[in-house]
Structure 1
Amino acid sequence: MGFLKRTNKKFDYQPRYYKGEGNPFKIEHKLDQFRTTAGKNKNLKGKFHDAIGDLKNSDKKTNRTLIIIISILVLIFLYIIDFDLSIFINN
């Protein structure tokens, strides 16, 4: 009566692209290590404090680039809506 005694088969499953580092089933975003809002500060106040600290300590070159990009986008928006500067001239 060997057909009644069945043992479960054990498989040594390993994911296809697993390189052996950590748990392959742990769901974690690839960019979490670079985010300022991810990490030890789980509460909202801590996240805002870290984000404001990063903003204060940023490069001046980065700020200049950001201002240039925003100004170009504003000019493109004004061109699209046909903004007329003649409303500021008093005749």
Structure 2
Amino acid sequence: MGLFKTRKNKQFSYTPRHFDDKGQGNPFQIKHKFDEFRTTVGANKGLKTKINNAVDDFKNNPDKEANKRILIIISILVLVFLFIIDFDLSIFFSK
């Protein structure tokens, strides 16, 4: 069906006439900007593999402040969502 599959980039065997390869690789290769830094970018198959790669990337991130910031943003969004659906937050607090 192809609804959830990502399209692959077309690859041609074109080499420019005046190209000097000095260890930089092919300049016409279509590549994501952060491919060499992340494991979540690429041809991952299946939802479980994608989630596992994202969790591993989150755990092995050397920037711990970014992890804290993401957790704070997620918690604020969850609280806003609970407020929108009129969830009673008093069940979490004792009287």
Query: TM-score, normalised to structure 1's length?
Result: 0.43
Higher helix share: 1
Query: TM-score, normalised to structure 2's length?
Result: 0.42
